[in-house]
Amino acid sequence: MIAQNLNIDTIPGGPLPIVQASQFDVQTNAVTFTLYRGSELFTLPAGAGVLVNGKKPDSTGFSYSAASASGSTVRINVTKQMTAVFGDVICELRISSGQQDVGTCNFILRVEKSPLDDAVISETVLPLIEQAAEIAATISEYAETVAQEAAAATQAATQAAASAASAATDAANVHTQYTSLETVKTNANAAAQAAQDAADTLNGLSAAATTLAAGSSATASYNASTGVITFGIPRGADGATGPSGVTTPLAGFFTMWVDTNGDLYAESADDMSDYFDYDSETGNLYFITEDE
């Protein structure tokens, strides 16, 4: 294990750190970089990721994740592909937080030539990385579409829930109105039945009358079992009896009165028997006038 410790500045413009390596080195080289920003230590954002990117002299490239990154320290492992071509390899540490790059630090990987030219075939891993990036972008786009569809579905579900609640309220109102109408209908039917019962009762009624003593109060009674209404009607007061109750008429006039037996009398100051005629068969009394 060959370990190297280097300082690297996130501000461009200064001399680049040089990592020494041998071509086709079979040993694993580990390099630890301490990050600075000018004269001050640079602290990685929480959860930041670091990639090691580089282009070899034969124009093939590579990109690997750092072995570790925390605080102000980044540790990388130098692979055989990174040392497959001798010469200076321009490399960078690309620091990202989420989807945003927050800084880069350049360094030189100096690869010394090996006498074995065909020990390792130089390949690029960039197409794979680009493909992975495209896949990641596609997944991100798909995830965004799914999120939008989920949001639309949530909104539709919310509207459907609101519509359902409104429909439930309307149904409750209709039920209340229906119940009120049913109550009115029931009351109307009861009133109609009561009216019919009263009409049936009146149709079955009959009336009777009795004569009460003069001066009595009138009465009325109802027998529910027979349906008979009985009225008590006081008779009239007795009139004066006999001639003493009759005013004596002047000459040429007469007065008629009825005694307690119901007999009719004609009373006059003169004899007026020639003026009256009684028909005993019919009970009619006639007053006779002179024909002119």
The whole-number pLDDT of residue 241 equals 55
> Could you tell me if residue 108 is inside a domain?
yes
> Could you tell me if residue 208 is inside a domain?
no
> Could you tell me if residue 42 is inside a domain?
yes
> Could you tell me if residue 158 is inside a domain?
no
> Could you tell me if residue 237 is inside a domain?
no
Tell me what the mean pLDDT of segment 112-138 comes to. 67
Least confident of 44-58, 80-94, 106-120: 106-120
**Residue closest to 285 by CA, chosen among 270, 263, 269, 268:** 263
The whole-number pLDDT of residue 128 equals 52
Task: Please give the single-letter amino acid code of residue 283.
Answer: G
Higher pLDDT, 264 or 101: 101
Task: Please give the single-letter amino acid code of residue 115.
Answer: P
* pLDDT band at residue 191 using 50, 70 and 90 as cut-offs: confident
Task: Please give the single-letter amino acid code of residue 1.
Answer: M
**Residue closest to 106 by CA, chosen among 97, 119, 93, 117:** 93
Q: Which pair of tokens denotes residue 81?
A: 């592909």
CATH assignment of the domain containing 38: 2.60.40.3350
Q: Yes or no: say if 66 and 79 are a contact pair by the CB < 8 Å rule.
A: no
The whole-number pLDDT of residue 115 equals 79
Q: Helix, strand or coil for residue 178?
A: helix
> Could you tell me if residue 8 is inside a domain?
yes
Quick check: 142 pLDDT over 80?
no
Of 78, 109, 124, the domain-final residue: 124
Q: What percent of the chain has pLDDT over 70?
A: 84
**Residue closest to 138 by CA, chosen among 149, 126, 130, 150:** 130
The whole-number pLDDT of residue 119 equals 60
Highest mean pLDDT, choosing among 49-58, 109-118, 149-158: 49-58
Give the structural domain span for 274: 243-287
